[in-house]
Amino acid sequence: AQSVTQLDSHVSVSEGTPVLLRCNYSSSYSPSLFWYVQHPNKGLQLLLKYTSAATLVKGINGFEAEFKKSETSFHLTKPSAHMSDAAEYFCVVSDQSDYKLSFGAGTTVTVRA
């Protein structure tokens, strides 16, 4: 079965500075990887996904993530944080073993003015 580890439970950045959210995965098969964002009292919104095409994936709102098979990582970055980026972010993996989505524990991002 697959699993995900988000290495930081909380990240705090200043507005205008880069954001890095770290995610490591475990999968016996070629995985699909996703990043979702959840704003307070809202559902999850897809930021981007990797499905074995280009290893650098660009998503919405200026986010991107790089799939590194050798490091089993799928870190999420944004060059310049905005106040509206304050939210919880989930790294998610699925593979052909059972097609279920496995969620990381989440990383809460706060953005300081």
Partner 1 sequence: KAGVTQTPRYLIKTRGQQVTLSCSPISGHRSVSWYQQTPGQGLQFLFEYFSETQRNKGNFPGRFSGRQFSNSRSEMNVSTLELGDSALYLCASSLFPGGQKKETQYFGPGTRLLVL
Residues binding partner 1 (CB under 8 A):
32, 34, 36, 41-46, 49, 51-52, 90, 94-96, 98-101, 103-106
Residue 8: CB minimum distance to partner 1, A:
15
Closest CB to partner 1 among residues 4, 111: 4
**Cβ proximity of 91 and 43 under 8 Å:** no
Residues 6 or more apart in contact with residue 96 via CB below 8 angstroms: 29, 30
Distance CA 80, CA 77 (A): 9
Closest CB to partner 1 among residues 17, 52: 52
Distance CA 6, CA 15 (A): 22
Residue 105: CB minimum distance to partner 1, A:
5
Closest CB to partner 1 among residues 34, 74: 34
Residue 79: CB minimum distance to partner 1, A:
24
**Cβ proximity of 3 and 25 under 8 Å:** yes
